[in-house]
Amino acid sequence: MTLRQFEVFLAVARAGSFRRAAEALHLSQPALSQHVRELEEELGVRLFDRLSRTVVLTEAGRLLEGHAVRLFATLAGAREAIGELLGLQRGSLLIGGSTTPGIYVLPRLIAGFRARYPGIQVSLRIANSRVIEERIRADELDLGVVGGHVLGPGERCLAAGLLDELVLVVSPTHPWARHRAIPPARLAAEPLLMREEGSATRRVTERALQQAGIAFQVAMELDHPEAIKQAVMANLGVAFVSIHTVRGELAAGRLRALRLRGLPIRRHFHVIHHEARALSPAARAFVGLIEEQGRTAGRSLGGG
């Protein structure tokens, strides 16, 4: 048995498809199938049931999956222990950021991290919160930074020091543009623009409004904060967005921000990772930087 065979096995188990696993590993499908076949022959068991378009683990496959995950966790731990000896002079860090922190918060933090540790190669992957959470559970990222997070199986929260506020934005020509706050009941008659399902911004907004008993109507779904801002500027509706996403537009007068009277909507950006993965020195240093930023800002919105 080889590490490559175990890597291929786990890729197929996670993808549920030989084709998708081959694409993820940049292998031809026949080469990938050969690795699986050789592993099955050596173990003397079938690891996958081949269905019409997908594959699923057999009982033996499920048993092997747990051992394979622990094997790679042990190897990662060994690499990280050796990395300790390098004193953060070399290494890598793969961070996943949900859309809002990934675009508007993490680049500045990564720049500060790189200034301290120029030998660490940092990569950033951006997707909505649901996708980042899935990639953490699949052990594909060192760290994930998401907003308003509820921990799922296989996840561990490391820090929640960066505070965010969701503000209601309107165009400068909107009747509400002259107000700092409006009664919550007025939201019911206004078309509300929302992020897509899987977005933490949407999840936090809906939860806050529903818990407060505030009626609202979703007029349109958009899958990016920049699309939300452009739609609001075009008077297609109003939207709750992170204050981090609209600082430039507010300063330039292209948008106006207000709040629902008596209902501030706030959240923390959470740093999560796979609970079975040992935290690398680079990951620990990055989490420490986030916690330091949170303390420096006094957990205020001005620190984001």
User: Domain 3-82 class?
Assistant: mainly alpha
Greatest extent of the chain over all pairs of C-alpha atoms, in Å: 73
**Which tens digits make up the pLDDT trace of 67-96?**
999 898 888 877 776 766 566 777 889 999
Please give the pLDDT value at position 160.
62
Band the pLDDT of 302: cuts 50, 70, 90.
Answer: very low
Residue ranges per structural domain of the chain:
3-82, 94-304
Query: Would the pLDDT of 241 be above 60?
Result: yes
- State the pLDDT confidence band at 198, using cuts at 50, 70 and 90: confident
Please give the CATH topology (third level) of the domain spanning 94-304: D-Maltodextrin-Binding Protein; domain 2 (3.40.190)
Tell me which amino acid residue 37 is: R
pTM passes above 0.75:
no
Distance of alpha carbon 110 from alpha carbon 235, whole angstroms: 35
Tell me the C-alpha distance between 36 and 33, whole Å.
5
From CA 45, how far away is CA 178, in angstroms rounded? 71
* Strand-strand pairing, 191-195 and 238-242: parallel
Q: What is the mean pLDDT of residues 48-77?
A: 89
At 153 the pLDDT is 59
pLDDT band at 295 (very low <50, low <70, confident <90, very high): low
CB atoms within 10 A of CB 41: 9
